Amino acid sequence: MVNQFDYLSKRDVFSPEVEALVDVETGRRYTYRVFNERANQVANFLQKEIGFQKGDRLCIIAQNSLEYWETFFGCQKCGGIFSPLNWRLVARELAGLIDDLTPSALFFDRDMAKVASELKTLVSIEHWISLSPEGEQIDDSLSYEDIMNNAPSSPPNVVNLSYEDPMGIVFTGGTTGLPKGAMITYRHVAFNTLNTIRDILPADVYINHLPLFHVGGLYVYAIPLFILGGKVIQMKRWDLDTLIDVINKEKPNFFFAVPTQYRMLMNHSNFESVNFSSVRFLTSGGEPLPIDIIRTFREKHGVKFKQGFGMTEVGPGCFALDPWDAEQKIGSIGTPNFFIDAKVVDPETGKDCSANEVGELLFRGPTVTIGYWNRPELNKTLLDEDGWFKTGDMVYFDKEGYYYVVDRVKDMFISGGENVYPREIEKVLEQHPKIAEVQVIGVPDSKWGEVGRAIVVLKPGQEATEKEIIDFCKDKLAKFKIPKSVVPIDSFTPYISGAGKILKRKLQEDYGQEEK
């Protein structure tokens, strides 16, 4: 019997010889049959050798690889809860998450062997498995290579699952305390797949460079494409030169990146020679895509952009902006996907907002998480009495029903009694001819309570004074919105999260002090 939730076994029946997964780092290529058999081996090891059961958590701290995907689907076949960890965190940060999850096993690779060794002194996990070859292990760890040499590839014991069972836990970025682990259920995945097939086709080829500890890497496009029978080209990590090589060699139909990454590609010396002939569309998210990127890709290569908006707890694909709206609705996240209800309310009164009124975005529907792992008190108030989930995002919609993100509630600051949304200021400063990137934060001020500070990265070879940048805003923003100070930096790279977003809280820590 093939379990309806065992996606790879279904694909082994439907399209066994179709290529499913390619590892850019090693050059290995799996058909669905091989992929399924490898995942079966992991599942048989988990069930028969360590007694892994439905609901047990499995953690992994590793760079992207085929082994990562084998472990994911092996865990799924056992009814386990796959709980990937952010490899950018230090051992003590990871220890807090592991204590919260109490996993049965932890898998790690060569790059994380040192961190895993530190973790062994901080947490209690019975089974440690090294994904790397012999000699790259820590004390008492098992070798993944030995496991795969000995575990059978026959189907594992079938586990009874429901749509409400958690398939995974993905941690959201916490601003205080531990990050929250959002539970991703089989219902969540099924409806996200239905939302996604408005864009993707069964024979599509997709490049995945996003970290697999993040919802974007695992759930946004990759799993829906595996369900449909497409091919995922897996990169170990984001690398621009590698991406260009992969585009030219593998002829993808689409891939995802954030605007900063598209700008890096656009500014690369080989950009004009990249072969985009197979690309049906590119997807951008995380923040609005600037108009110059849209026009440059269109004019140089005839490439269209889809844009979207998502979050770990919902979807994760919640909104989509189609290519034909990219320029006429610049800055919009589009309209809600299928199977998602969205509305905008006044955060103080809860009253529904009308068109062009800024309020908090709420979601309802089958793609909303069932809750956060181990947070019973928080889960009691996760949804309001009508089933709506509060996002913390301040948005508005226009008269045609297209939504626009103004800012996060937590990023807003109050200056002289007026609400100020940094994103509004950033959009103005992005038009400055000398500015490559900009972020705005609120800083304490003795007179106004808080005022804006622009942190800018200038374009190569450019110079601009603080006064020049502030003056640029004067006829474009109300006086209380204009930044009172400017801080130039070389790069935002140290402040980029695993999802490719700028971590405002880290900028706040480094640049949010009141001027003396």
Alpha-carbon distance of 505 to 493, in angstroms, equals 14
What are the tens digits of pLDDT across the range 232-258?
A: 999 999 999 999 999 999 999 999 998
DSSP 466: H
Query: Residue range 168-196: average pLDDT?
Result: 84
Q: Which residue, chain included where needed, has tokens 């695993």?
A: 498
Q: What is the pLDDT of residues 56-112, one digit of tens each?
A: 999 999 999 999 999 999 999 999 999 999 898 888 889 999 999 999 999 999 999
Q: What's the confidence (pLDDT) of residue 468?
A: 95
Please check the confidence at residue 410 and state whether its pLDDT lies above 80. Answer: no
The Cα–Cα gap between 384 and 393 comes to 16
Average pLDDT, the chain: 91
Q: Where are the domains of the chain?
A: 7-161, 195-408, 413-511
The pLDDT of residue 176 is 39
Q: CATH homologous superfamily for 413-511?
A: ANL, C-terminal domain (3.30.300.30)
Least confident of 185-194, 343-352, 433-442, 443-452: 443-452
Q: Buried b vs exposed e over 403-429: b needs ≥16 C-beta within 10 Å?
A: bbbbbbeebbbebeeeebbbbbbbbbb
Name the DSSP class of 218. Answer: I
Q: Assign 3-class secondary structure to 72-135.
A: HHHHHHCCCEEEECCCCCCHHHHHHHHHHHCCCEEEECHHHHHHHHHHHCCCCCCEEEECCCCC
Does 413-511 match 195-408 at the fold level? Answer: no
The answer to whether 158 and 1 are in contact (CB under 8 A) is yes
3 state SS of 214: coil
- Check pLDDT > 50 for residue 175: no
* Digit-coded pLDDT (tens) for 196-238: 988 899 999 999 999 999 899 999 999 999 999 999 999 999 9
Tokens representing 506? 């880290």
Tell me the CATH number for domain 195-408: 3.40.50.12780
Beta-carbon neighbour count of residue 447 at 10 Å?
Answer: 8
Evaluate whether the domain defined by 7-161 bears CATH number 3.40.50.12780: yes
pLDDT at 383: 93
Least confident range of 42-51, 121-130, 268-277, 281-290: 281-290
- As a whole number, mean pLDDT of residues 24-37 equals 97
Q: What is the pLDDT of residue 405?
A: 85
Separation of alpha carbons 368 and 444, rounded Å:
36
- As a whole number, mean pLDDT of residues 387-397 equals 91
